[in-house]
C-alpha cells in the first residue's frame, strides 16, 4: 500500500474508520459506516484492501465446483441482483470487509458477479471466491472431459481451468488455494450482506 | 492494521511518477513500464483519476451511435480476428448490398443515431464507388448524421488497391460524406508483435501516416490498441508513445486524435484461441496507464463492448471519461466470444455513468455537448444488463 492510497483514504474522510478498525472497535466502525456509501470508491477499496492484507493475508480460497462451507467467519456478499453493476458490487464487497468481523472470510460468487469483477473484488477486500467451473459460454465442464494441449498431451479440462484461475490470481498479486471438497454445513451461521 | 501516516511508506517507484504527473511533466517509457508492473492497482487508479478529473471533472461522455460492418470479406489474415472471412462465398462471408446497409439506418429513423461507425474487412472485389455510394446514401437518408468510417488500415488498403494516395482516398471519401476516422486497426505497433499477429496489412508507420494526413485535412480521428494477447507491457508502452508523438505533430494541424480506446483481446474462434482473455485487473490497469502516458490525447474510452459494462463502469474511476455509445449492433467482438450485450439503451448508459458518481454528458462525435444530464440516479428498475448469450451473468474461465 502506497503513500498515494494513504492520502486517498485520509482525503476521503475514512481515517476515523481506519483508526476504529485498528483499535478493534467494530461498533464504532459500524457507527461511522454511512460515509462508506458515498466516499470515493478507490479510497474505500484501498481501506478494505489494507484491512484484508493485515487480517487475512494474501491467500485466496477458491471453491470451484465444490460446496463452500458457511462458518460464522464467512461474509457472503450477495450479488444476485442483476441490476447491480461493477461500481456497486465493488463497493459492497469493500463495505463487507471494513464493517465485517476481524479476519472475516469475505466471499464473492463469480457466477453472480462475473469472473472479471470477482478478480477485481480481490483488491477491494474479498478473500474467497466461489463458483462453477464453466466454459466461456457459461456451460459447466464435465468432470471427465479432457483436451489435447500442445506439448502436454491430454489434460483434464477442469485442472487446466484451475491452473488458469491460479495464474489469474497471481497477476492480482494473490496466492490461490483450492478447496478440494467440503461437506454442506448449516447455512444458519453464515453472514450474508 | 498498518499505519496510515503518509510519510510512513515512501514508494521508490510510484512516488517520483506521481510527482511528475502532478507537475505536468511527461512520463517516460520506463515510467510506463513501471506503472504496468507496480502491484498497487488502486494507487495507479487514483493517479489516473486525478488526471481525468483535472481534464474533465465528473463529466463522462457517450453518444447515440450505431455500428455497421458492411462486409467481412478480407484479404488480411490477422491472428486475433474472428470476424473476417477470407473469400466471398466462404461460409459466413457477408457483403451487404448498398440498399441493405442503408436500410439499417432507415429502420432506426424513429430514434436515429447521431453517428454511424463503419468498419469492414479489406474486400478485394468491390469498386471504390461502392464505398462512396455507401456514404452518400446514408447522408441522403439523414444529412446531419456523422459518418465515422473506415479504419486507417482500410484507407491504406484503398490507396494500394485502387492506385491512389492516402490523401486522394480521404478527399474522395470526404466529398462522399466521410466526417472522421475510427481508431481500429492499430493493434500493437511494435514490429515484434505486428509481424506475428497481422503481417499482411498496414504497418504501424502506414497506420500513423493515414492519421497524420487525415489530421492535415482537418479530419478528427481516434486510435486503439489491442492488448492482452502475445504482447508485453513494453510493447504497450511503445504503442502509447508512438501515438503521443503523432499527436504532438498534429497539434499544428486543424484536427488531431480525439480519443484513445484500449481494446481487450477476445480469443474465441480466432488464431489465438488458446490464449486466455485479459482480466478485469488488466483492463483497469491499461486504462489507468493510458491516461497517465498520453497526456496530449484528451479523451480515454472504456469501451464497454470489449471490457463488459461492469468493468467499463469501474474504469470511469481509472482514468476513462467516455463509454463510447449505444452502438446498437456490434458483431466483431461478438464473433470473438464477448459476452457483453450488442447494444445499450440510452437510459442504460446514463445510469451506468450516474452510478459511478459521474455526470452523463451526451456528445456528438467531435465531443460537442448535446445534452448534459443531472447527476441524480435513475430508479433501479430503469436498468437491467443481460449477457448476450445467456440469461444471467456468465462465468468466464
Q: Which residues of B touch A159 (CB under 8 A)?
A: none
Does the residue A34 lie in any domain?
A: no
For residue B395, the chain A residue with the least C-alpha distance is A138
Q: Cβ–Cβ of B394/A6 closer than 8 Å?
A: no
Q: What is the pLDDT of residue B210?
A: 98
What would the pLDDT profile of B56-92 be if each residue is shown by its tens digit?
A: 999 999 999 999 999 999 998 888 887 776 778 888 8
pLDDT tens readout for residues B134-170 = 999 999 999 999 999 999 999 999 999 999 999 999 9
The three cell numbers of residue B142 are 439523414
Distance, in Å, from the CA atom of B46 to the CA atom of A43, rounded to the nearest integer, reads 8
Q: What share of chain A is helix, strand, coil (3-state, %, to 5)?
A: 45, 20, 35
Residue A114 and residue B355: Cβ atoms within 8 Å? no
What local confidence, expressed as pLDDT, does residue B378 receive?
Answer: 44
Neighbouring CB atoms inside 10 A of A148's CB total 8
Check whether B54 has a pLDDT greater than 80: yes
Smallest CA–CA distance from B310 into chain A, residue: A86
Indicate whether A25 belongs to any domain. Answer: no
Edge-first strand listing for the sheet containing A128-131: A175-178, A59-64, A128-131, A105-109, A74-77, A191-192
- On the question of pLDDT at B173 being above 60, the answer is yes
- What is the distance between the alpha carbons of residues A54 and A97, in angstroms, rounded to a whole number? 12
Is A110 in contact with A91 (CB distance < 8 Å)? no
> Measured between alpha carbons, how far is A76 from A107 in angstroms, rounded to an integer?
5
Burial of A181 (0-12, 13-18, 19+ CB in 10 A): exposed
Contact B382, B344 (CB under 8 A): no
- Phi, psi values for residue B104, rounded to 5°: -55, -35
Residue A128: which of A72, A45, A62 has the closest Cα?
A62
The verdict on a CB contact (< 8 Å) between A171 and B282 is yes
Residues of A in contact with B4 (CB under 8 A): 6, 9-10, 15, 18-19
**A91-132 tens-digit pLDDT:** 999 999 999 999 999 999 888 888 888 889 999 999 999 888
Question: Is a pLDDT exceeding 70 seen at residue A134?
Answer: no
Per-residue pLDDT for A135 more than 80? no
- pLDDT at B8 > cutoff 80: no
Please check whether residue A184 lies inside any domain of the structure.
yes
pLDDT at B286 over 90: yes
Q: How confident is the model at residue B42 (pLDDT cuts 50, 70, 90)?
A: very high
pLDDT at B382 over 70: no
Q: In this model, does residue B380 exceed pLDDT 80?
A: no
Look at A117 and B310 and tell me if their CB atoms are within 8 Å: yes
Confidence grade of residue A57 (pLDDT, cut at 50, 70, 90): very high
Nearest CA in chain A to B312: A86
State the complex-level ipTM. Answer: 0.79
Three-class SS state of B175? helix
Best of B2, B3, B4, B391 to substitute, by most chain A Cβ atoms within 10 angstroms, is B4
Please provide the DSSP assignment of B69-100 as one string. Answer: --B-B-S---TT-SS-BSSTTSTT--B--HHH
Q: Which of A115-129, B123-137, B309-323 has the lowest mean pLDDT?
A: A115-129
pLDDT of residue B116 exceeding 60 = yes
Q: Which of A85, A94, A165, A168 to mutate to test the interface with B (most CBs of B within 10 A)?
A: A85
Grid coordinates representing B58? 465528473
CB within 8 Å of B88: residues ≥ 6 apart? B73, B95, B123, B125
Domains of chain B: 46-382 (3.20.20.70)
Closest chain B residue to the Cα of A42, Cα to Cα? B42
Taking the CA of residue B356 and the nearest CA in chain A, the distance in Å comes to 6
Q: What mean pLDDT do residues B32-46 have?
A: 93
User: B82: closest CA among B69, B96, B99?
Assistant: B69
User: According to the per-residue pLDDT averaged within each range, which of A136-140, A187-191, B172-176 is highest?
Assistant: B172-176
Are A114 and B393 a contacting pair at CB < 8 A? yes
pLDDT score of A2? 72
pLDDT value at position B272? 75
d(CA A174, CA A52): 12
Average pLDDT, chain B: 88
* Residue A193 pLDDT exceeds 70: no
Q: How many structural domains does chain A have? A: 1
Average pLDDT over residues B270-281: 77
Flag whether pLDDT at B381 surpasses 90: no
A86 with B10: Cβ contact below 8 A: no
- As a whole number of angstroms, the distance between CA B10 and CA A118 comes to 30
pTM beyond 0.90, yes or no:
no
Among B6, B380, B394, beta carbon nearest to A6: B6
| pLDDT computed for residue B176 by the predictor | 98
Confidence of residue B331 (pLDDT cuts 50, 70, 90): low
* Least CB–CB distance from A42: residue in B1, B49, B339: B49
Rounded mean pLDDT of A43-63?
Answer: 93
The band of B397, judged by pLDDT with boundaries at 50, 70 and 90, is very low
**Comparison of pLDDT for B147 and B269, the residue scoring more:** B147
A2: which residues sit within 8 A by CB, 6+ positions away?
A: B9, B11, B14, B15, B40, B43
- Assigned domain for A135 exists: yes
Of the segments A156-170, B259-273, B370-384, which one has the largest average pLDDT value? B259-273
Q: Which residue is closest to A140 within chain B, CA to CA?
A: B395
SS3 B46: helix
Residue A19 lies in a domain: no
Q: pLDDT value at position A145? A: 61
- Distance between CA atoms of B342 and B386, rounded to whole angstroms? 10
Find the closest chain B residue to A165 by CA distance: B397
Most confident of A130-134, A141-145, B52-56: B52-56
pLDDT value, residue A96:
94
Q: Is the pLDDT of residue B292 over 90?
A: yes
Task: Tell me the C-alpha distance between B371 and B363, whole Å.
Answer: 7
Residue A5 maps to a domain: no
Q: With respect to residue A102, please indicate whether it lies within any of the assigned structural domains.
A: yes
Closest CA to B148 of B99, B173, B182: B182
3-state SS of chain B: helix, strand, coil percent to 5? 40, 15, 45
Q: What is the CA radius of gyration of chain A?
A: 18
Residue A6 to residue B313, Cβ atoms within 8 A: no
Residue A108 belongs to some domain of the structure: yes
Q: Which domain holds residue A177?
A: 57-192
Range with the lowest mean pLDDT among A9-13, A80-84, B36-40, B164-168? A80-84
Ranking B152-156, B201-205, B309-313, B383-387 by mean pLDDT, the lowest is B383-387
Asked if residue B199 has pLDDT above 60, the reply is: yes
Q: Do A6 and B45 touch (CB under 8 A)?
A: no
Q: Is beta strand B59-63 parallel, antiparallel or unpaired with respect to B146-149?
A: unpaired
Residue A50 in this model has a pLDDT that exceeds 50: yes
Amino acid at each position: 500500500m502506497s503513500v498515494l492510497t494513504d492520502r486517498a483514504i485520509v482525503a476521503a474522510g475514512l481515517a476515523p474508520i481506519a483508526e476504529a478498525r485498528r483499535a478493534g472497535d467494530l461498533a464504532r466502525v459500524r457507527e461511522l459506516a454511512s460515509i462508506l456509501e458515498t466516499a470515493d470508491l478507490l479510497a474505500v477499496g484501498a481501506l478494505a484492501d489494507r484491512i484484508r492484507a493485515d487480517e487475512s493475508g494474501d491467500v485466496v480460497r477458491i471453491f470451484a465446483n465444490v460446496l463452500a462451507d458457511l462458518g460464522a467467519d464467512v461474509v457472503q456478499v450477495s450479488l444476485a441482483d442483476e441490476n447491480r453493476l461493477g461500481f456497486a458490487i465493488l463497493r459492497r464487497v469493500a463495505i463487507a470487509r471494513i464493517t465485517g468481523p476481524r479476519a472475516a472470510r469475505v466471499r464473492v460468487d463469480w457466477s453472480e458477479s462475473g469472473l472479471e469483477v470477482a478478480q477485481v473484488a480481490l483488491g477491494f477486500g474479498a478473500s474467497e471466491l466461489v463458483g462453477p467451473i464453466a466454459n466461456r459460454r457459461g456451460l459447466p465442464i464435465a468432470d471427465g472431459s479432457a483436451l489435447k494441449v500442445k506439448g502436454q498431451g491430454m489434460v483434464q479440462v477442469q485442472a487446466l481451468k484451475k491452473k488458469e484461475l491460479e495464474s489469474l490470481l497471481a497477476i492480482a498479486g494473490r496466492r490461490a488455494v483450492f478447496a478440494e471438497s467440503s461437506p454442506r454445513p448449516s447455512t444458519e451461521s453464515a453472514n450474508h450482506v | 492494521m498498518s499505519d496510515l501516516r503518509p510519510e510512513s511508506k515512501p514508494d521508490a517507484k510510484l512516488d517520483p511518477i506521481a510527482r511528475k504527473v502532478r507537475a505536468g511533466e511527461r512520463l517516460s517509457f520506463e515510467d510506463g513500464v513501471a506503472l504496468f508492473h507496480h502491484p498497487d492497482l488502486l494507487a495507479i487508479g487514483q493517479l489516473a483519476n486525478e488526471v481525468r478529473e483535472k481534464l474533465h471533472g465528473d463529466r463522462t461522455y457517450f453518444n447515440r451511435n450505431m455500428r455497421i460492418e458492411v462486409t467481412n470479406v478480407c484479404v488480411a489474415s490477422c491472428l486475433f480476428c474472428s470476424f473476417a472471412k477470407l473469400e466471398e462465398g466462404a461460409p459466413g462471408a457477408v457483403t451487404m448490398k448498398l440498399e441493405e446497409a442503408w436500410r439499417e439506418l432507415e429502420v432506426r429513423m424513429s430514434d436515429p443515431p447521431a453517428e454511424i461507425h463503419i468498419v469492414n474487412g479489406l474486400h478485394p472485389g468491390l469498386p471504390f464507388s461502392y464505398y462512396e455510394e455507401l456514404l452518400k446514401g446514408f447522408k441522403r437518408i439523414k444529412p446531419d448524421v456523422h459518418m465515422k468510417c473506415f479504419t486507417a488500415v482500410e484507407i491504406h488498403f484503398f490507396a494500394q488497391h485502387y492506385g491512389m494516395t492516402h490523401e486522394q482516398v480521404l478527399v474522395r471519401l470526404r466529398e462522399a460524406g466521410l466526417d472522421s476516422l475510427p481508431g481500429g486497426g492499430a493493434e500493437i505497433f511494435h514490429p515484434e508483435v505486428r509481424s506475428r499477429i497481422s503481417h499482411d496489412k498496414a504497418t504501424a508507420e502506414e497506420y500513423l501516416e493515414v492519421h497524420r494526413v487525415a489530421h492535415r485535412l482537418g479530419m478528427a480521428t481516434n486510435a486503439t490498441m489491442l492488448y492482452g494477447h502475445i504482447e508485453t507491457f513494453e510493447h504497450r508502452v511503445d504503442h502509447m508513445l508512438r501515438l503521443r508523438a503523432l499527436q504532438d505533430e498534429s497539434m499544428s494541424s486543424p484536427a488531431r486524435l480525439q480519443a484513445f480506446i484500449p481494446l481487450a483481446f477476445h480469443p474465441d474462434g480466432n488464431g489465438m484461441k488458446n490464449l486466455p482473455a485479459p482480466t478485469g485487473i488488466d483492463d483497469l490497469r491499461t486504462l489507468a496507464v493510458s491516461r497517465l502516458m498520453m497526456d496530449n490525447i484528451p479523451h480515454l474510452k472504456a469501451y464497454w463492448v470489449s471490457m463488459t459494462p461492469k468493468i467499463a463502469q469501474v474504469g470511469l474511476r481509472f482514468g476513462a471519461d467516455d463509454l463510447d455509445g449505444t452502438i446498437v449492433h456490434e458483431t466483431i467482438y461478438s464473433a470473438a466470444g464477448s459476452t457483453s450485450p450488442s447494444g445499450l439503451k440510452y437510459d442504460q448508459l446514463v445510469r451506468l455513468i450516474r452510478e459511478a458518481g459521474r455526470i452523463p454528458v451526451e456528445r456528438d462525435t467531435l465531443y460537442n455537448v448535446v445534452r448534459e444530464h443531472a447527476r441524480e440516479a435513475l430508479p433501479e428498475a430503469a436498468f437491467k444488463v443481460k449477457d448476450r448469450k445467456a440469461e444471467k451473468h456468465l462465468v468466464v474461465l
